Amino acid sequence: MRKQVVAYGFSLAVLIILLKYLEYNYYLKSFSQEFYFGIIALAFMVIGIWTGIKWIKTSNKPAIQNISNEEVQQELDISNRELEVLMSMADGLSNKQIAEKLFLSESTIKTHSTNLYAKLNVNRRTQAVQKARELGLLQ
């Protein structure tokens, strides 16, 4: 009886292996080469996107860490008034709105802005805000 069960089980295993082999050959022949190239391209695309996201997350970390806001401000020689102007820029206010908010003339705001651009080594207001965030001047 035991020999019959083993023989029966072995024959079933061989039949299953044969069926899986035939099924594999059917799928291999029924799908064109482009389909398999597409799967490989999709896999590489997913890996590339994942790698890019990881790389961007690590490269967006601030260059200066463990340095307080005041130390960065002193290192760049940014006055408190210039910092107030920078914060207002980050809030999206225009020069006229900043002048009204800080009770200064518009030309004074422009002077502070020019000084900030030089100290942060940038050319535009958006670059100044971005650089200030990277340096930890703005939260």
Q: Give residue-wise pLDDT tens across range 25-54.
A: 776 666 667 777 777 888 888 888 888 888
* Predicted model pTM: 0.51
Provide DSSP, 12-74: HHHHHHHHHHHHHHHHHHHS-HHHHHHHHHHHHHHHHHHHHHHHHHHHTS-SS-S--HHHHHH
| 34: amino acid identity, one letter | E
* Amino acid 76: pLDDT: 85
Task: At 37, list the tokens.
Answer: 């190239």
Residue 137 sits at the vertex; the CA angle it makes with 109 and 95, to the nearest 5 degrees, is: 20
Low-confidence ranges of the chain (pLDDT < 70): 27-32, 59-68
- CB 120 within 8 Å of CB 128: yes
* Amino acid 122: pLDDT: 92
* Amino acid 66: pLDDT: 47
